[in-house]
């Protein structure tokens, strides 16, 4: 079974900034998708902000197992309808991997329920990423620590909900730390946030970073059928109760009436 | 130090349904606030949907330590601006206790990031509430199990994020179970969901239910100063780095420029 | 890659109680192992209390990916050396699935760090098992609820640590609830506790129960190489520090000296 | 209500190492207890390895709300009986604060169920402690980061169970990070591990460190009555079932017989 992934890229700085364009001439999304596609258990395509529906039609999302999301310059340009559509697919079981500046993506804030804010500094400083959960599937084959010689700093407090598990923590030359690899489940969907990936550095060409993303895709993949009823609030009529009960006391709702929302 | 609480009530069925009006002639919110106010460490007032800004002006929220929320019939009537205002106060440290049908309140869904859906049946059946975390502050003085002879059934799957801790689980005569007491933290704010409280039954007159609410208010109270910066994403200039670093490599942002959102 | 499982059975009541012997003539462990072995991705063998080293030599554990554990009558007969050996393999990444009365197995208490106590009643009453985490891999293909017409009751408070995730909750005819499917990670090892399985009932012949066990084996399997250093406390000499530092201030330890334990 | 704390000190290096003795002439435990005692809501006494029963008789533990534990040189000298006694009191609701090299204390390993190992380097290097959960009670009044100019380095992987919440993360000059403030609950007892505190440095004289310990004592304090039954496994006879049930099917246990352990 191939894991069907879509790498979503905002696709702006690649065209407006010479450094970014030089590092990622086909776009960061393409670099990431190419890295994923080298593995026979993963098929990867791309989608961008500029496409109709940002490349994320319902039909396409319905055939997507794991979505990776990179955005930075124009989070506000993503339509709310697409945000809701992606969130619903996550509840159904689509994995979501949020990359770097995607911490402020509408869909990440929507799924976390928190501001997802942090400190930052763009100084090309050294980042050391430490594995603090070496048995986690996302850490498979990743050394106890590895270095990105030039990265943007992200610092705490990172205002996200306490994760299920913390997988990576970053050390920065300027003195900060950051929880760089965090997992959550929302509905049937697995979510992983991974910090590195500032567009002016060659981070997504780094083989260790690529390995983390491959691991994350495999971890986030939920092979179960889509959990279609996660937003339903079904009434269970008395006569269909699993154990025999008799209706008692006053009621608000007439038989068969839907609940309030 | 008195814990300043506001009990928010939708305040509809008390006026449109004779049973509810008979049980709670001053409104469910008033019954709850009166129960809280009998404790000298808690001061309680009420707010309702019908008041200007639903009784939740910024000034009032700024002086609220813990907000309790009961709504059912008309969640959609709550203005989005008030929802955002409440969510922001939670991030700052205001406690939030969501009651029963409040599982579908806009602000709860907003903070959870999930649908918060569940099964239901209005048959006045027996509910047994089991304490599965007896050392938790919210369980102080609560027996290992207690009975509500008539309650609405709520059944799993309850589509909320995995909680920090599960405190109560309900057994229903009709065969269902439900995670009835769950905790989360969002920003600096403590959140507790507590299942019982259907308006056609005298649940909020029950002393054990009242004790849970009192415990929950004390637990949710965060006496620290409001965490005002939870939505900020400050830049840390290179020259203010904690450890001396030298700027290297290409940059997107000019000095002093704000980050993207 | 085949997942190498060992099903450990205490193997007492099958020989001393006619009912148990009738239900499981080859032992409960054999019934479980046979159910697992019908799946081509799983190989299953058995081990019992009566074998030398309880069938769990170091060599055998080193070739075991997932260990299932059922014990009841004579937990105390399991040697402490084997308990430590199993715990160490869990830290290294071996999965552990603890069944029913195994809640009091030495190795489970050892890994949880808590008493793992609970209430019980042997009345052949109805158990309804509810899936409260339908997107979890262990719930794959499991209905929202299923029935065991005759089971022993286990009731809360179940004194285990708060789990990573709660997957199943049981409803009992006599009025109790129980967190029946719980997950933890210890070192690199995944641990799942699954409640059903009293020996006087045909629980392990139930296809839904078998499916849960198969799911649990797949979930618990950690394909990474054994994490051999999880008990090490290595000194990092100053001259091997990742970032250049100068030794300062007083020291307790001479260069090359091991730390205290 | 005064929180009755006991600060347990191994009390060896203060007498065998001139530096340690100079920094803490009355022992580290006394310095810590003095800092706690300056707050009217806390009473603090000390206990040491050398006292009978290490100063931790059952009677004394029964009157202790929160125990702080510092050990390093001779963890093995702590008697197993005292370890079990302390663990049982934690299950009952006594708070436990484990300091620095106490990560290898028998009672901490006992309660965690894991090796609790880590990397280390004794070079007097700079440690920056970051608050990653600013709304947590243990972080009350603690700045977003603070510095210990000379500390021992502890590095990941720290082999403990995933915590309930991560409160502090340390940055070290030599390039490592460490989860320095972690919380768990075991039974009714709150547990906090706090990393700093190498005996050759004046860490426990630092006012911010003292404030963390005061906060931790208040957070760990469980004012409920001792949860005495956490190790019990009571049988619930059929005739005492909460809901009427009829005994069915075969049984192992005669009426009134205790369960197996």
Q: What's the pLDDT at A89?
A: 98
Q: What's the pLDDT at D256?
A: 81
Closest to B149 (Cα-Cα) out of B100, B201, B200: B201
Closest to C74 (Cα-Cα) out of C60, C90, C54: C54
Q: Crossing angle of helices B28-37/B207-220, nearest 10°?
A: 70
C230, closest residue in chain A (CA to CA): A134
Which of chain B's residues have a Cβ under 8 Å away from the Cβ of D137? 222, 224
Structure letter (DSSP) for residue A120: E
Give the residue ranges of chain B where pLDDT is below 50.
none
- Give the residue-averaged pLDDT of C15-35: 97
For D46-82, the pLDDT digits (tens) are 999 999 999 999 999 999 999 999 999 999 999 999 9
Which of chain D's residues have a Cβ under 8 Å away from the Cβ of B173? 243
Q: What's the pLDDT at B81?
A: 98
- Closest chain B C-alpha to C133 CA, distance in angstroms: 7
Which of chain B's residues have a Cβ under 8 Å away from the Cβ of D145? 242
- Closest chain C C-alpha to D40 CA, distance in angstroms: 33
DSSP string for residues in D138-149: GGTT--SEEEEE
Helices (H), ranges, chain C: 13-16, 18-23, 28-37, 58-62, 80-92, 106-112, 207-220
D189–B135 CB contact, under 8 Å? yes
Q: What's the pLDDT at C85?
A: 98
Residues of B with CB under 8 A from a CB of D: 93, 128, 133-137, 139-141, 145, 164-165, 173, 185, 187-189, 222-224, 227, 242-243
B174–A201 CB contact, under 8 Å? no
A156–D169 CB contact, under 8 Å? yes
Q: Tell the residue number behind the tokens 């809701």, with chain if given.
A: A84
Phi, psi of D9 (to 5 degrees): -125, 140
CA distance D252 to C73: 10
For B153-212, what is the HEC assignment?
Answer: EEECCCCCCCCCEEEEEEEECCCCEEEEEEEEEECCEEEEEECCCCCCCCHHHCHHHHHH
Per-residue pLDDT for C254 more than 90?
no
Burial class (CB in 10 A: 0-12, 13-18, 19+), C258: exposed
CA distance D234 to B239: 65
Characterize C220-255 residue by residue with b for buried, 16 or more Cβ atoms within 10 angstroms of its Cβ, and e for exposed: bbbebebbebbbebebbebeebbeebeeebbbbeee
**Partner-chain residue, chosen from A135, A137, A223, that has the shortest CB–CB distance to C189:** A135
Structural class in CATH, domain D3-220: alpha beta
**Predicted complex ipTM:** 0.96
CA distance C193 to C212: 11
Grouping H, G, I as helix, E, B as strand and the rest as coil, residue A128 is strand
D165–B145 CB contact, under 8 Å? no
Cβ(A115)–Cβ(A159) under 8 Å?
A: yes
How many CB pairs (< 8 A) connect C and D?
Answer: 203
User: Does a cis peptide bond (omega within 30 degrees of 0) precede residue C179?
Assistant: no
Q: What's the pLDDT at B256?
A: 80
Q: Tell the residue number behind the tokens 């699954």, with chain if given.
A: C194
For chain B, what is the HEC assignment?
Answer: CCEEEEEEECCCHHHHCHHHHHHCCCCHHHHHHHHHHCCCCEEEEEEECCCHHHHCCHHHHHCCCEEEEECCCCHHHCCHHHHHHHHHHHHHCCEEEEEHHHHHCHHHHHHHCCCCCCEEEEEEEEEEEEECCCCCHHHCCCCCEEEEEEEEEEECCCCCCCCCEEEEEEEECCCCEEEEEEEEEECCEEEEEECCCCCCCCHHHCHHHHHHHHHHHHHHCCCCCCCCCCCCCCECCHHHCCCCCCCCCCCCCCCCCCCCC
Structure letter (DSSP) for residue C253: S
Burial class (CB in 10 A: 0-12, 13-18, 19+), B165: middle
C236–D164 CB contact, under 8 Å? no
CA angle B42, B44, B47 (to 5 degrees): 155
How many CB pairs (< 8 A) connect B and C?
Answer: 66
Tokens (6 digits) for D192: 């906090």
Q: What's the pLDDT at B252?
A: 87
- Closest chain C C-alpha to D87 CA, distance in angstroms: 8
Helices (H) and strands (E) in chain A, counts: 7, 9
> 10 Å Cβ neighbour count for C172?
27
Per-residue pLDDT for C1 more than 80?
no
For C133-177, the pLDDT digits (tens) are 999 999 999 999 999 999 999 999 999 999 999 999 999 999 999
A173–B117 CB contact, under 8 Å? no
Which of chain A's residues have a Cβ under 8 Å away from the Cβ of B76? 261
Which of chain D's residues have a Cβ under 8 Å away from the Cβ of B139? 224
CA angle A127, A133, A136 (to 5 degrees): 115
Q: Tell the residue number behind the tokens 């989360």, with chain if given.
A: B184
Which of chain D's residues have a Cβ under 8 Å away from the Cβ of C203? none
A151 forms beta bridges with A125
Which helix (H) or strand (E) segment is D106 a member of?
A: helix D106-112
Alpha carbon C232 to its chain's center: 24
For D9-43, the pLDDT digits (tens) are 999 999 999 999 999 999 999 999 999 999 999 99
**Partner-chain residue, chosen from C111, C117, C248, that has the shortest CB–CB distance to D231:** C117
Which of chain C's residues have a Cβ under 8 Å away from the Cβ of A134? 188, 227
D135–B242 CB contact, under 8 Å? no
Q: Tell the residue number behind the tokens 């086909």, with chain if given.
A: A26
CATH architecture type of domain A3-114+175-220: 3-Layer(aba) Sandwich (3.40)
Q: What's the pLDDT at C182?
A: 98
Residues of C with CB under 8 A from a CB of A: 93, 128, 133-137, 140-141, 145, 164-165, 173, 185, 187-189, 222-224, 227, 242-243
Grouping H, G, I as helix, E, B as strand and the rest as coil, residue C3 is strand
Alpha carbon A188 to its chain's center: 13
Which of chain D's residues have a Cβ under 8 Å away from the Cβ of B130? none
B162–C162 CB contact, under 8 Å? no
Which of chain A's residues have a Cβ under 8 Å away from the Cβ of B234? 119-120
- Closest chain D C-alpha to B53 CA, distance in angstroms: 27
A145, closest residue in chain C (CA to CA): C242
Tokens (6 digits) for A145: 């620590």
Which of chain D's residues have a Cβ under 8 Å away from the Cβ of B227? 134-135
pTM of the model: 0.97
Which of chain C's residues have a Cβ under 8 Å away from the Cβ of B134? 157
Which of chain D's residues have a Cβ under 8 Å away from the Cβ of B165? 164, 185
**Partner-chain residue, chosen from C91, C164, C232, that has the shortest CB–CB distance to D114:** C91
- How do the pLDDT tens digits run along chain A, 261 residues long? 799 999 999 999 999 999 999 999 999 999 999 999 999 999 999 999 999 999 999 999 999 999 999 999 999 999 999 999 999 999 999 999 999 999 999 999 999 999 999 999 999 999 999 999 999 999 999 999 999 999 999 999 999 999 999 999 999 999 999 999 999 999 999 999 999 999 999 999 999 999 999 999 999 999 999 999 888 999 999 999 999 999 998 888 888 888 888
- Closest chain A C-alpha to C54 CA, distance in angstroms: 27
List chains adjacent to chain C, taking adjacency as at least 3 C-beta pairs closer than 8 Å: A, B, D
Residues of C with CB under 8 A from a CB of B: 128, 130-134, 144-145, 155-158, 162, 164-166, 169-172, 175-177, 179
Q: Tell the residue number behind the tokens 């290409």, with chain if given.
A: B250
Confidence of residue C256 (pLDDT cuts 50, 70, 90): confident
* Fold annotation for B3-114+180-220: Rossmann fold (3.40.50)
B144: number of CA atoms within 13 Å, CB side? 16
Mutate to test the interface with D, among C175, C182, C260 (most CBs of D within 10 A): C260
What are the percentages of helix, strand and coil residues in chain A, rounded to 5?
A: 30, 30, 40
For D204-220, the pLDDT digits (tens) are 999 999 999 999 999 99
**Partner-chain residue, chosen from B137, B222, B243, that has the shortest CB–CB distance to D135:** B222
Q: What's the pLDDT at D230?
A: 87
Cβ(C115)–Cβ(C159) under 8 Å?
A: yes
CATH 3.30.70.100 matches C3-116+180-220 = no
D135–B189 CB contact, under 8 Å? yes
Confidence of residue D1 (pLDDT cuts 50, 70, 90): confident
Tokens (6 digits) for B57: 């002006």
Beta strands in chain C (DSSP E): 3-9, 42-48, 66-70, 95-99, 119-131, 145-155, 165-172, 177-186, 189-194
C183, closest residue in chain A (CA to CA): A164
**Partner-chain residue, chosen from C131, C164, C179, that has the shortest CB–CB distance to B132:** C179
Per-residue pLDDT for D156 more than 90?
yes
- Closest chain B C-alpha to A39 CA, distance in angstroms: 32
Q: What's the pLDDT at A13?
A: 94
B175, closest residue in chain C (CA to CA): C171
Which of chain B's residues have a Cβ under 8 Å away from the Cβ of C171? 171-172, 175-177
**Partner-chain residue, chosen from B111, B174, B237, that has the shortest CB–CB distance to A245:** B174
């Amino acid at each position: 079974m191939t894991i069907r992934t879509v790498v979503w890229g905002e696709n702006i700085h690649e065209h407006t900034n010479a450094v970014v364009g030089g590092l990622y001439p086909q776009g960061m999304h393409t670099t990431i998708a190419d890295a994923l596609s080298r593995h026979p258990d993963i098929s990867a395509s791309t989608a961008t902000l500029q496409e109709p529906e940002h490349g994320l039609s319902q039909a396409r999302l319905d055939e997507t197992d794991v979505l990776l999301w990179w955005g930075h310059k124009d989070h506000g340009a993503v339509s709310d309808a697409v945000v809701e559509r992606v969130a619903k697919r996550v509840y159904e079981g689509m994995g979501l991997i949020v990359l770097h500046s995607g911490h402020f993506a509408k869909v990440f804030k929507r799924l976390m329920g928190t501001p997802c804010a942090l400190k930052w500094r763009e100084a090309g400083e050294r980042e050391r990423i430490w594995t603090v959960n070496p048995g986690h599937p996302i850490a498979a084959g990743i050394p106890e620590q590895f270095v990105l010689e030039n990265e943007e700093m992200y610092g705490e407090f990172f205002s996200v909900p306490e994760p299920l598990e913390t997988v990576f923590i970053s050390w920065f030359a300027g003195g900060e730390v950051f929880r760089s690899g965090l997992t959550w489940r929302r509905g049937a969907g697995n979510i992983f946030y991974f910090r590195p990936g500032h567009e002016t550095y060659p981070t997504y060409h780094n083989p260790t970073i690529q390995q983390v993303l491959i691991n994350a895709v495999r971890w986030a993949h939920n092979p179960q059928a889509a959990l279609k009823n996660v937003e339903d609030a079904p009434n269970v009529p008395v006569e269909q109760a699993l154990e025999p009960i008799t209706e008692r006391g006053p009621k608000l709702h007439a038989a068969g009436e839907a609940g309030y929302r």
